Amino acid sequence: MASVRRLVLDVLKPHDPPLVDFTDQLSRVDGVAGATCTLVELDREVQNVEVTLEGENLDIGAVEETIDELGGTVHSIDLVACGDRLVTPQRPPRDA
pLDDT for position 89: 72
Q: Are 10 and 48 in contact (CB under 8 A)?
A: yes
The Cα-based distances of 17 to 31, 50, 68 in angstroms read: 22, 16, 12
Q: What pLDDT digit, counting tens, does each position of 60-88 carry?
A: 999 999 999 999 999 999 999 998 877 77
The CATH architecture to which 4-84 belongs is 2-Layer Sandwich (3.30)
pLDDT for position 2: 73
Q: Is the pLDDT of residue 8 over 60?
A: yes
Q: In this structure, what DSSP letter does residue 15 have?
A: S
Q: What pLDDT digit, counting tens, does each position of 32-56 carry?
A: 999 999 999 999 999 999 999 999 8
Q: Is the pLDDT of residue 96 over 60?
A: no
Q: Is the pLDDT of residue 24 over 70?
A: yes
pTM comes to 0.88
CA–CA distance, 58 with 89 (Å, rounded to integer): 19
